[in-house]
């Protein structure tokens, strides 16, 4: 073989080697314009590289077919159901926070109610009416917070409904306690509960229970003698802590560890702190 021809073949082979990796990138459309043109020019002149390029293109086409497979329809059903459960679980988690807030709120009012009945001898009907308002606010909290205040939450209709019930409640509460009970139940459980029910029935249980508790307090506490109310102070602290902790445990069983304990513990600590502060105030009075 003449030396000139040998050099030409050798140069051609080394060109093939240099462009081998580029053939793969060419198939993926990942080459810069100049290198792409260089590959195209070379492939037109080199049958070996043209065959190699065809092999890679065919391989890639087959691989694309392999990675696009329609899953059985059953899989979507499972995903939909699991996503629904997850959403309900998150709502329960939010409900737990709402429950903690609402319960601390009610707890504070319990202390204030006891103090005012004992020290000031406040009219029971008026206290009952105030308690109804507290229950309504708790209901509002319970209704809004479980939705995470997202754009999907019907904030305005819900707020308008609760405001209406609040107006009715404050007018009726002073005269007829059983109507106050109905309105607080409506506000605390039905209004937010209906919205929750539309999304996940399981998420309703806890807010409804707290609202029912609030309503029961609205009716029962004003009927108790001041001395009894004062004696209820310690059991109320225990009850508040227990309810808030229980709410935390029940609401989000899939959350474990320190994170899950923060909202209920914060609620319980807040309740205990409030009890301590109020008992000091009462002693000072």
**Which distant-in-sequence residues (6+ apart) come within 8 Å of 266 by Cβ?**
100
Choosing from 9, 79, 176, 273, the residue that interacts with other proteins (CB under 8 A) is 79
By CB under 8 A, what part of segment 7-26 binds other proteins?
A: 20-21, 23-25
3-state secondary structure the chain: CCHHHHHHHHHHHHHHHHHHHHHHHHHCCCCCHHHHHHHHHHHHHCHHHHHHHHHHHHHHHHHHHHCCCCCCHHHHHHHHHHHHHHHHHHHHHHHHHHHHHHHHHHHHHHHHHHHHHHHCCCCHHHHHHHHHHHHHHHHHHHHHHHHCCCCCCCHHHHHHHHHHHHHHHHHHHCCCHHHHHHHHHHHHHHHHHHHHHHHCHHHHHHHHHHHHHHHHHHHHHHHCCHHHHHHCHHHHHHHHHHHHHHHHHHHCCCCCCHHHHHHHHHHHHHHHHHHHHHHHHHHHC
Minimum Å gap between C-beta 148 and other proteins is: 8
Minimum Å gap between C-beta 158 and other proteins is: 16
Minimum Å gap between C-beta 84 and other proteins is: 7
Q: Which is nearer to other proteins, 23 or 43 (CB)?
A: 23
68 binds other proteins (CB under 8 A): yes
32 binds other proteins (CB under 8 A): no
Choosing from 1, 151, 198, 259, the residue that interacts with other proteins (CB under 8 A) is 151
Choosing from 75, 238, 273, 277, the residue that interacts with other proteins (CB under 8 A) is 75
Size of the site for other proteins (CB under 8 A): 40
Q: Which is nearer to other proteins, 20 or 277 (CB)?
A: 20
29 binds other proteins (CB under 8 A): yes
Minimum Å gap between C-beta 257 and other proteins is: 16
72 binds other proteins (CB under 8 A): yes
Residue 244 CA, chain-centre distance (Å), reads: 18
By CB under 8 A, what part of segment 160-199 binds other proteins?
A: 199
156 binds other proteins (CB under 8 A): no
201 binds other proteins (CB under 8 A): no
| Site of interaction with other proteins (CB under 8 A) | 20-21, 23-25, 28-30, 54-56, 58-60, 62-72, 74-76, 78-80, 82-84, 86-87, 150-152, 199
């Amino acid at each position: 073989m003449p030396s000139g021809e040998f050099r030409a073949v050798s140069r051609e082979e080394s060109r093939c080697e240099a462009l081998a990796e580029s053939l793969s990138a060419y198939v993926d459309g990942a080459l810069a314009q100049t290198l792409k043109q260089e590959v195209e020019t070379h492939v037109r002149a080199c049958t070996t590289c043209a065959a190699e390029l065809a092999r890679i293109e065919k391989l890639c086409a087959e691989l694309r077919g392999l990675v696009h497979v329609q899953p059985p329809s059953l899989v979507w059903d499972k995903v939909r159901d699991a996503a629904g459960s997850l959403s309900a679980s998150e709502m329960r988690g939010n409900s737990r926070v709402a429950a903690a807030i609402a319960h601390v709120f009610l707890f504070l009012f319990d202390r204030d109610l006891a103090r005012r009945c004992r020290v000031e001898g406040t009219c029971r009907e008026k206290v009952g009416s105030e308690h109804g308002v507290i229950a309504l606010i708790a209901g509002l909290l319970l209704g809004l917070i479980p939705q995470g205040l997202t754009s999907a939450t019907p904030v305005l209709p819900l707020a308008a409904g609760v405001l209406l019930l609040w107006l009715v409640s404050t007018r009726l509460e002073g005269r007829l306690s059983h109507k106050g009970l109905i309105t607080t139940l409506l506000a605390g459980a039905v209004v937010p509960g209906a919205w929750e029910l539309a999304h996940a029935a399981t998420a309703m249980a806890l807010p409804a229970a707290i609202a029912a508790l609030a309503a029961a307090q609205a009716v029962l506490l004003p009927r108790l003698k001041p001395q009894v109310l004062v004696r209820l102070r310690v059991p109320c602290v225990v009850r508040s802590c227990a309810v808030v902790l229980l709410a935390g445990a029940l609401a989000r069983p899939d959350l474990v560890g320190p994170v899950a304990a923060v909202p209920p513990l914060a609620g319980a600590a807040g309740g205990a702190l409030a009890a301590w502060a109020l008992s000091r105030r009462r002693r000072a009075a």
